[in-house]
Amino acid sequence: MGSARLTSRRRAAVVAALMLAAFTFNTTENLPVGLLSLISADLRVSLAAVGLLVTGYGLTVAVVSLPVAHVTRSIPRRHVLSGLLGLLVLASWVCALGPVSYGLLLVARVATALAQALFWAVMGPVAVGLFPPERRGRIIGLLSVGGSLATVLGVPAGTWLGGHGGWRAPFLVLGALALVSLVAVAVLLPTSPPEAGHAAYGVRPDARRFAVVLVTTALSVTGAFAGFTYVVPFLGEVSGFSRDSAGALLMVFGVAGPAGIAAAGPLLDRFPRGRTGPTAVPGPPP
In whole angstroms, how large is the CA radius of gyration of the chain?
19
Q: What is the pLDDT of residue 152?
A: 79
Per residue in 255-280, pLDDT (tens digit) is 766 666 666 656 665 665 554 443 33
Give the closest residue to 137 by CA, choosing from 268, 251, 43. Answer: 268
With contact defined as beta carbons under 8 Å apart, do 39 and 32 qualify?
yes
CB 241 within 8 A of CB 235: yes
Residue 230: which of 214, 216, 250 has the closest Cα? 250
pLDDT at residue 118 in the model = 93
Tell me, what's the pLDDT at 95? 86
Helix (H) or strand (E) holding 202: strand 201-202
Q: How far is CA 136 from the centre of its chain?
A: 19
Q: What is the pTM of this model?
A: 0.74
The span from the CA of 239 to the CA of 253, in Å, is 15
**CB-based contact 225:54 (threshold 8 Å):** yes
> Which DSSP helix (H) or strand (E) runs through 230?
none
Say whether 150 sits in a helix, a strand or coil.
helix
pLDDT of residue 148: 81
Burial (CB count within 10 angstroms: exposed 0-12, middle 13-18, buried 19+), residue 229: buried
- Cβ–Cβ < 8 Å for 171, 95: yes
- Give the chain's residues under pLDDT 50: 1-4, 275-286
How high is the pLDDT of residue 195? 58
pLDDT digits (tens, 9 = 90+) for 231-257: 777 777 787 777 677 767 767 776 766
Can you spell out the DSSP letters for 265-280? HHHHHH-THHHH-GGG
